Structure 1
């Protein structure tokens, strides 16, 4: 065999060997991620719908992704503290539960955010949609939404409603109701759904709008009275409670939503693996059944679908926020 031919073959073999040597560590690095437990940051206090959704999905993802996924509640500043921390994290193991408030509301109520909802985060999957319920303290002399609105109009500015904070889904939902019903009810922001519900059930507040998962047990126990659902149709868990639309406000719909987000600066391979595992968990029967018991709908969209959904929600709520003049003052 000609010496030149041998040298060419040797060169090709050497090139292939060096290419494999470069590829193998990268493949191992990708296959080895995550290399430690994943931290799923929830930007709200314990006790709300966000924690129920986060724990249901984290438990299932931990079974297949190769590491534990633990939920870390980090409330404050309408979710901005948690969003900023995750945007700035560099460990490639810190995720955040995205929400209608942090992604579609805060960009329009804060003059300057410590994060950019669209640039700093990669949408992974829309995990769940949660029906919003309108509830009152059972001592309030009203049985339905029509009676509540009439009662509120007879006492303008004398009733208080609570929310998980300025710009939260509950704040948005109640301001939306106030707008269409032309009522004057005072907003009292809290640092999370849990502490707000404590005051609502004690009678310090008269009303609130909260995601169904955090409320069903209290409604069934008679500690709260549900006067309307924000859904397009009645809920099977509350068949006797009419929707807002049924009670005189045609086309009214209010649904909270939660999705998984990761810092956009992560390697594409990590984001792809996370998306595949999160979708698998969200679409699985365990999560679907668990969320259905809490009146939440499991979704499990692709990252591209979730990205388009976020942009559509931003376009939907921007004019509502401007008309309601929702401001960030008072958040902690």
Structure 2
């Protein structure tokens, strides 16, 4: 008899929980939504999210507040959400590709596959290599030729050890048989300054980091790591065209804590998809040198699983797997 009462109480509790979640989903959003951006205010990504927030808010029916939360190699916003976020749809975060990489480099208490609700894939950074305008390296072939004749003499700047830029250059070293001198900097601004000051010979970065300098005649872009030529730089060859079997992109999207109701995920997805496709945002992508990388919730979740495995392979290749 006691068991019967206990079982009935459990069913009643479960029914109440399901009903409460359904009501919350029906009423969502009833207050402003906060989106935490993984990078500092004033940069291209911050600018993009503020435009998207304004556009998506029109379709969501509530204001969307952009909050900058840089740190932990771009994973602070997402990891904080994974550890302490409520799955009610009112706090979301940008998830750069680093969320699939950092857990292989150091011990973390969150899992990028299990601890997020994947909402929408958004866009990606176009990456490549540039030299100073007065560099003797006119083409990528010039770089490789010099590096082979003078091992370790060609230095390059990136924005950090274990980042996509570092991994791509490590892959290039493996494929070409040359050895570069990697000098990491804190960010794109420092990396560009180092190139212009002659501290390094190459700069591996997002195109948005050196396109302005290239337009001003101060740098020259030797290649991009896209699968096909980037429309914003039609005269710049891809790595594949130069004989390298690589494509390196750095996409990101929007996530929430695990366990978000599907109805809420769908509402957020639909609002941001319309924002992504809005002409104002499409025009901005060209200005900040990004490409559209739309993924549905299901496709984004599937990508997360494959990206997590692929990042481990890249970490192993670079010798950066954590021993913990």
Query: Equivalent residues in 2 for 1:46-125 (5 A)?
Result: 46=41, 50-90=45-85, 92-103=89-100, 105-110=101-106, 112-125=107-120
Match of 1:171 among 166, 169, 193: 166
- 1:142 to 2:137 alignment: yes
User: Secondary structure in 1 aligned to 2:298?
Assistant: helix
- 2:157 corresponding residue in structure 1: 162
2:112–2:308 Cα contact (<8 Å) kept: no
- Counterpart Cα distance in 2 of 1:167 and 1:136: 22
| Greater Cα shift, 142-151 or 188-197 | 188-197
- Counterpart Cα distance in 1 of 2:120 and 2:275: 11
* Cα 1:177/1:191, change in 2 over 3 Å: same
Match of 2:176 among 169, 176, 181: 181
| Greater Cα shift, 85-94 or 256-265 | 85-94
Q: Deviations over 1:280-313 (max 9, x none)?
A: 2223333223213433222332100111122233
2:25–2:261 Cα contact (<8 Å) kept: no
What is the CA distance between 1:231 and its match in structure 2? Answer: 1.7
- Counterpart Cα distance in 1 of 2:66 and 2:199: 30
- 1:279 corresponding residue in structure 2: 273
Count of aligned pairs: 306
The unaligned stretches of length 5 or more in structure 2 are 1-16
- Counterpart Cα distance in 2 of 1:266 and 1:141: 55
The unaligned stretches of length 5 or more in structure 1 are 1-21
- 2:308 corresponding residue in structure 1: 314
* Cα 1:165/1:33, change in 2 over 3 Å: farther
Q: Deviations over 1:98-138 (max 9, x none)?
A: 122222x223222x123210111111111013321211233
* Cα 1:197/1:257, change in 2 over 3 Å: same
- Counterpart Cα distance in 2 of 1:135 and 1:165: 17
- Counterpart Cα distance in 2 of 1:46 and 1:133: 24
What is the CA distance between 1:244 and its match in structure 2? Answer: 1.4
User: Secondary structure in 1 aligned to 2:126?
Assistant: strand
* Cα 1:113/1:132, change in 2 over 3 Å: same
User: Secondary structure in 2 aligned to 1:41?
Assistant: strand
- 2:14 corresponding residue in structure 1: none
What is the CA distance between 1:73 and its match in structure 2? Answer: 3.1
When normalised by structure 1's length, the TM-score is 0.80
| Greater Cα shift, 82-91 or 144-153 | 82-91
1:56–1:287 Cα contact (<8 Å) kept: yes
1:161–1:185 Cα contact (<8 Å) kept: yes
What is the CA distance between 1:180 and its match in structure 2? Answer: 1.6
What is the CA distance between 1:252 and its match in structure 2? Answer: 2.4
* Cα 1:142/1:121, change in 2 over 3 Å: same
- 1:290 corresponding residue in structure 2: 284
2:38–2:69 Cα contact (<8 Å) kept: yes
When normalised by structure 2's length, the TM-score is 0.81
User: Secondary structure in 2 aligned to 1:309?
Assistant: helix
